[in-house]
């Protein structure tokens, strides 16, 4: 395509993530131009038209309706719900669109194979939104490893702590709290970023086996206080002091999870008032339920152990309900180690130095961020990289073309199978996916 013109794109699924990436069209109109949207919600279609300046002829209710008209853009930004990714992607890929597709790109092995087969058939450029690769923090870890600062990797330890209010909002009361609805596990919905990072850092070495354990430890009916109600603002005497009360998490902090909790109020003809929000939580909103009686069925903690083909090992621990959200990493190699936490944006490098009195050299590396987004500056770099990928077909070190995302997705599917089998070892077989 002409590299002097912006890549044109259509949003499919006008949620928070799609609009975050589409912001590039406002900030850098020479790189990206949004020319349409497919979303069943008329308010989101209206928002897209007003934000990006296209007309009704660029609006569709479904991905299939979009696929039924002649292709009028270069690419799709697909931010639909996890279980809708394959069904919305296949007809648009068949139409010839390239695609930026939110993670996870599939919710099971069969879907993964379907999407891979489609991309291979139509030769689309499809990039998966593994945004953590683009954050300065993880890019620096990758560069330290690539330049040999710690030698060959022996072991990687990653952990993600999910705060009590994030867990409550997204994985107990919210969209990803019940796999019967969302079709994803907790590990797939929350930690496929982290598992992808493991696979990316172990570049050149494939996982061979995985074991995993996890459970719903905290937020289940038998742990509910004896006098608790079923809806926080309706029948619970603990509404003013329970740490997980909808009043304390959502009304006392109304902007914290606004993009999820107040989504049902989008259709009002006025800015939602506190009274509107109270009535919503008193009504049938899932965010007004007692956290212990929400009907959730995904685990709130899980541990995973991988072995790789060169003998190296890696672990990932997801723990929900913590005081604050954080990600940590510790990479141990034959010449040294790297450790740090994502939120502080600081890394610590220790390398073997036999001549030193301590036996090692130490360096603290302040990373910083490119912006204040929730992924340490990764969002803007990801969408810019996608534009460049569509323009010239060249993949950066971070670029997650769909083929590069197979190992991470398969790792999550097998980890969940192991957990369901009480930790039984699951073996990797990449042959059926024809990956290099």
Q: CATH number for the domain including 157?
A: 3.30.360.10
Q: At what angle do helices 109-122 and 85-94 cross, to 10 degrees?
A: 10
**pLDDT reported for residue 48:** 97
One domain, residues 106 and 138: no
One-character DSSP codes across 390-424: HHH----SS--BGGGGHHHHHHHHHHHHHHHTTT-
One domain, residues 138 and 211: yes
One domain, residues 162 and 264: no
**Domain span holding position 418:** 132-219+296-433
One domain, residues 85 and 21: yes
**pLDDT reported for residue 1:** 60
Domain ends where: 124, 156, 180?
A: 124
Residue 209: inside a domain, yes or no? yes
Sheet of 126-128, strand order: 59-60, 32-38, 7-12, 75-78, 98-101, 126-128
**pLDDT reported for residue 436:** 44
One domain, residues 310 and 417: yes
Residue 1: inside a domain, yes or no? no
At 203 the three-state DSSP class reads coil
Q: Residue-wise pLDDT tens for the chain (436 aa)? A: 667 799 999 999 998 899 999 999 999 999 999 999 999 999 999 999 999 999 999 999 999 999 999 999 999 999 999 999 999 999 999 999 999 999 999 999 999 999 999 999 999 999 999 999 999 999 999 999 999 999 999 999 999 999 999 999 999 999 999 999 888 999 999 999 999 999 999 988 999 999 999 999 999 999 999 999 999 999 999 999 999 999 999 999 999 999 899 988 877 888 899 999 999 999 999 999 999 999 999 999 999 999 999 999 999 999 999 999 999 999 999 999 999 999 888 999 999 999 999 999 999 998 865 455 555 568 999 999 999 999 999 999 999 999 999 999 999 999 999 999 999 999 999 887 754 4
Q: How many helices (H) and strands (E) does the chain have?
A: 16, 15
One domain, residues 400 and 341: yes
One domain, residues 110 and 149: no
One domain, residues 72 and 202: no
Residue 118: inside a domain, yes or no? yes
Residue 307: inside a domain, yes or no? yes
One domain, residues 92 and 241: no
One domain, residues 147 and 117: no
Residue 77: inside a domain, yes or no? yes
Domain ends where: 124, 158, 186?
A: 124
One domain, residues 415 and 318: yes
One domain, residues 144 and 202: yes
Residue 174: inside a domain, yes or no? yes
| CB 270, CB 329: distance < 8 Å | no
Residue 2: inside a domain, yes or no? no
Domain ends where: 89, 124, 159?
A: 124
Length of the chain: 436
């Amino acid at each position: 395509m002409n590299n002097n013109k912006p890549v044109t794109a259509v949003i499919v699924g006008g949620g928070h993530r799609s609009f975050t990436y589409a912001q590039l069209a406002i900030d850098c109109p020479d790189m990206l131009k949004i020319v349409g949207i497919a979303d069943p919600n008329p308010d989101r279609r209206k928002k897209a038209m007003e934000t990006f300046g296209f007309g009704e002829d660029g609006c569709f209710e479904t991905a299939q309706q979009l696929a039924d008209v002649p292709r009028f853009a270069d690419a799709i930004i697909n931010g639909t719900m996890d279980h809708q990714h394959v069904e919305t992607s296949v007809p648009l890929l068949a139409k010839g669109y390239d695609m930026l597709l939110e993670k996870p790109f599939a919710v099971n092995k069969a879907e993964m194979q379907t999407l891979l087969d489609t991309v291979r058939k139509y030769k689309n450029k499809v990039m998966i939104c593994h945004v953590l690769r683009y954050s300065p923090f993880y890019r620096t870890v990758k560069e330290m490893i690539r330049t040999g600062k710690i030698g060959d990797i022996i072991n990687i330890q990653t952990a993600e702590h999910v705060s009590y209010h994030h867990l409550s909002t997204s994985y107990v009361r919210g969209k990803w709290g019940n796999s019967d609805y969302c079709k994803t596990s907790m590990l797939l919905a929350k930690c496929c970023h982290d598992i992808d990072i493991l696979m990316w850092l172990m570049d050149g070495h494939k996982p061979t086996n995985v074991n995993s354990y996890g459970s719903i430890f905290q937020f289940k009916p038998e742990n509910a206080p004896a006098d608790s109600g079923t809806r926080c603002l309706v029948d619970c005497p603990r509404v003013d002091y329970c740490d997980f009360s909808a009043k304390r998490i959502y009304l006392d902090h109304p902007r914290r999870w606004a993009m999820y909790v107040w989504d049902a109020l989008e259709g009002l003809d006025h800015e939602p008032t506190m009274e509107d929000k109270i009535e919503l939580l008193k009504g049938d909103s899932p965010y007004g339920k007692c956290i212990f009686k929400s009907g959730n069925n995904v685990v709130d903690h899980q541990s995973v152990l991988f072995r790789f083909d060169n003998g190296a090992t890696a672990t990932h621990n997801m723990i929900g309900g913590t005081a604050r959200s954080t990600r940590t990493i510790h990479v141990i190699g034959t010449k040294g180690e790297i450790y740090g936490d994502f939120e502080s944006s600081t890394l610590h490098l220790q390398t073997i130095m036999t001549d030193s009195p301590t036996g090692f050299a130490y360096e603290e590396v302040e990373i910083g961020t490119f912006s204040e987004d929730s992924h340490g500056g990764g969002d803007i770099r990801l969408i810019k990289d996608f534009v460049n990928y569509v323009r010239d077909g060249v993949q950066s070190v971070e670029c997650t073309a769909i083929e590069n995302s197979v190992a991470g997705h398969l790792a999550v599917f097998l980890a969940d199978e192991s957990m369901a089998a009480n930790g039984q070892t699951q073996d990797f077989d990449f042959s059926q996916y024809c990956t290099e």
